[in-house]
Amino acid sequence: MAWIFLIIAGLLEVVWAFFMKASEGFTKPWPSIATLIFMFASFGLLSLSMKSLPLGTAYTIWTGIGAVGAFVVGVAVLGEQLSVTRVVAAVLIVSGLVLMKLSSSH
C-alpha cells in the first residue's frame, strides 16, 4: 500500500505544480487554493508512504515523479520547449527512480 500512496503522492505533486504555475505567483485565488489542497494531499500521502518505506527511497521517488511529470505537463499542456537535452535529463531521472526502487527492500 505504501507504494500506491507514494505514486499517487507523486502524481499529486505534478497537479499542485501545475496549479502553482496557473496561480501566477499566488495572485489568482482559485488556482492558489487548488495548489494548497493538492499540496496538502500530496504531502499527506508521502507521509503515509514513509511509515514503511525508507526516507531516501520515498523522497527520491516522490520528487522524481514530480519532476518528470511536471516536465511532461509543461511540454504537453503548456507548450514549453522540448529538446534532446531535456529528454535525456528526464530519462536519467527515470533511470535513477528505477535504480532507487530496485535498491529498496520494500
- pLDDT tens digits, the chain, 106 residues: what are they? 999 999 999 999 999 999 999 999 999 999 999 999 999 999 999 999 999 999 988 999 999 999 999 999 999 999 999 999 999 999 999 898 888 878 876 5
d(CA 31, CA 23): 5
Enclosing domain of residue 99: 1-104
pLDDT of residue 98: 86
C-alpha cell at 100: 532507487
Q: Which residues contact 94 (CB under 8 A, 6 or more apart)?
A: 64, 68
Instruction: Determine whether 4 is exposed, middle or buried from the number of CB atoms within 10 Å of its CB (0-12, 13-18, 19+).
Output: exposed
**Count of the separate structural domains present in the chain:** 1
User: Torsion angle, CA of 66/16/44/58, rounded to 10 degrees?
Assistant: 10
